[in-house]
């Protein structure tokens, strides 16, 4: 189904230079998608754009800091300028954290997480929405299982992902009659480098991974599932069996879920 859904489909992907966003771009390229990739590092962007073209896709890169609304507006304008429309917006850009709240030197790291993870999605969606209504397109929001269940040392990250869930769940209902679908995605641990770029207690990058790759979902599998869910315009995608079971357990034995999430974080799984 994805092959037909994304043929000539104009797809804007934030956080497109690495991790899940990059892999989604790679997998969409041979399906005939027209890609607009956004990220802060132009060199990484150029490399991904080149690989997407090598795989048969049309692609451009737009240097974008999603925490700045003007840059999100410019991203959407550039997409329209290049391809004339937008069919799919994938809000993927994000950063993580690795610090207890009482270890932080101040609240700025929390604000930074909210600006990038939450407001970045809001800004891009607001500027893209008129075009998505015209195309009866898709919005995809990459949240996290931490957007359903709080996780220790991820207070700001979890808050930003909970905010995304609330925003896009509400928006889905508002724009349903416009023919625009909203798919919320909740990955668990995925084998990417997001953990190595996590914000630490002093607001700087930790640089130490806490995810054991052998226990994490391969990024290729994650991207494939997201593309299929988007093609089918699914309402929600909880990506692990553990995550699905955890939602039921949270209703019945929330203390047990707290212990499970704490242990999982310690083990990197």
- Record the tokens describing residue 83, joined without a space: 């391809």
SS3 call for 253? coil
Count of CB atoms within 10 A of residue 56's CB?
A: 11
Rounded alpha-carbon distances, angstroms, from residue 142 to 145, 223, 225, 239, 265? 10, 11, 12, 11, 20
Q: Catalytic residue, from 26, 118, 123, 157: name it.
A: 157
Percentages (nearest 5) of helix, strand, coil residues in the chain:
55, 15, 30
Instruction: Let me know the angle formed at the C-alpha of 66 by 210 and 82, rounded to the nearest 5 degrees.
Output: 125
Sheet holding 181-186, edge to edge: 58-63, 34-39, 10-14, 88-91, 138-142, 181-186, 236-238
Is 118 marked active-site? no
Give residue for tokens 């995608």.
Answer: 237
Alpha helices in the chain (DSSP H): 2-5, 19-28, 42-54, 69-83, 108-113, 120-135, 155-175, 219-231, 241-252, 254-267
* Residue for token pair 């009482």: 102
Number of Cβ within 10 Å of residue 246's Cβ equals 20
Count of Cβ atoms closer than 10 Å to residue 214 Cβ: 8
Separation CA 84–CA 93 (nearest Å): 23
Catalytic residue numbers?
Answer: 157
């Amino acid at each position: 189904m994805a092959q037909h859904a994304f043929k000539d489909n104009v797809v804007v992907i934030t956080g497109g230079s690495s991790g899940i966003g990059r892999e989604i771009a790679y997998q969409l390229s041979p399906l005939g998608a027209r890609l607009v990739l956004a990220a802060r590092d132009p060199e990484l962007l150029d490399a991904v754009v080149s690989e997407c073209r090598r795989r048969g896709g049309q692609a451009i890169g737009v240097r974008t800091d999603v925490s700045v609304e003007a840059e999100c507006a410019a991203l959407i304008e550039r997409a329209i300028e290049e391809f004339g429309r937008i069919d799919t917006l994938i809000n993927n850009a994000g950063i993580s954290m690795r610090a207890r709240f009482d270890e932080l030197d101040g609240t700025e790291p929390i604000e930074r997480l909210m600006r990038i993870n939450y407001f970045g999605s809001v800004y891009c969606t607001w500027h893209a929405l008129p075009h998505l209504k015209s195309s009866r397109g898709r919005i995809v929001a990459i949240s996290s299982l931490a957007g359903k269940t709080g996780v220790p040392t991820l207070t700001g990250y979890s808050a930003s992902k909970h905010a995304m869930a609330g925003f896009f769940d509400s928006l889905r209902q508002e724009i349903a009659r416009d023919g625009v679908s909203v798919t919320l995605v909740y990955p668990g641990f995925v084998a990417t480098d997001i953990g190595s770029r996590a914000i630490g207690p002093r607001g700087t990058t930790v640089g130490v991974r806490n995810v054991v790759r052998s226990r994490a979902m391969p990024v290729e599998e994650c991207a494939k599932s997201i593309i299929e869910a988007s093609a089918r315009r699914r309402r929600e995608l909880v990506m692990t069996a553990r995550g699905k079971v955890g939602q039921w357990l949270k209703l019945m034995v929330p203390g047990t879920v707290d212990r499970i999430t704490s242990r999982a974080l310690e083990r990197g799984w």
